[in-house]
């Protein structure tokens, strides 16, 4: 698996889970109101909220990433972000997660032969360049 495949299966759901939980707990939104801007179902929001989904990686381990996700949650709650802006912001958060090295263990699980000490695919500053 290439890092983007791993990110789609683990990082993006973890970002959604964090943002969904923020919107419900901090901004007091209902699950249905959280689902619509995130482009997911109310059932998916419920699963994220209950940690049934989006728990393969803890994306809130750094202040920088937490601040990015909190900012997205606030913009969603205040209806200050469009779908395309949200997409670009998710890409930026994902890129930051990858560059921070938080995803390395997931890559190692996907490919046990990978030497995560020598690998710099995500941490070289060019992660997901085509999305930029």
For 66-106, write each residue's pLDDT tens digit: 999 999 999 999 999 999 999 999 999 999 999 999 999 99
pLDDT value, residue 12: 96
Q: Reduced to 3 DSSP states, what percent helix, strand and coil does the chain have, rounded to the nearest 5?
A: 65, 0, 35
Per-residue model confidence (pLDDT) at position 126: 61
Give mean pLDDT, residues 48-65: 93
- CA 102, 107, 110, 111 dihedral sign is negative
Q: Mean pLDDT over residues 3-7, rounded? A: 91
Contact yes or no for 6/102 (Cβ under 8 A): no
Rounded to whole angstroms, how far apart are CA atoms 120 and 105? 13
> 80-84 long-range contacts, Cβ below 8 Å, gap at least 24?
81/37, 83/37, 83/39
Q: Of 71, 61, 60, nearest to 18 (Cα)?
A: 60
pLDDT (mean) for 4-20: 95
């Amino acid at each position: 698996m290439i890092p983007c495949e791993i990110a789609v299966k683990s990082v993006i759901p973890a970002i959604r889970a964090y943002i969904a939980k923020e919107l419900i707990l901090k901004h007091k939104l209902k699950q249905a109101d959280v689902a619509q801007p995130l482009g997911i179902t109310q059932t998916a929001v419920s699963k994220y909220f209950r940690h049934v989904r989006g728990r393969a990686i803890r994306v809130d381990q750094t202040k920088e990433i937490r601040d990015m996700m909190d900012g997205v949650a606030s913009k969603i709650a205040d209806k200050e972000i469009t779908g395309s802006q949200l997409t670009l912001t998710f890409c930026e958060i994902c890129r930051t997660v990858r560059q921070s090295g938080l995803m390395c263990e997931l890559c190692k699980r996907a490919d046990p032969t990978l030497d995560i000490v020598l690998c710099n695919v995500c941490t070289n500053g060019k992660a997901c360049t085509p999305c930029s």
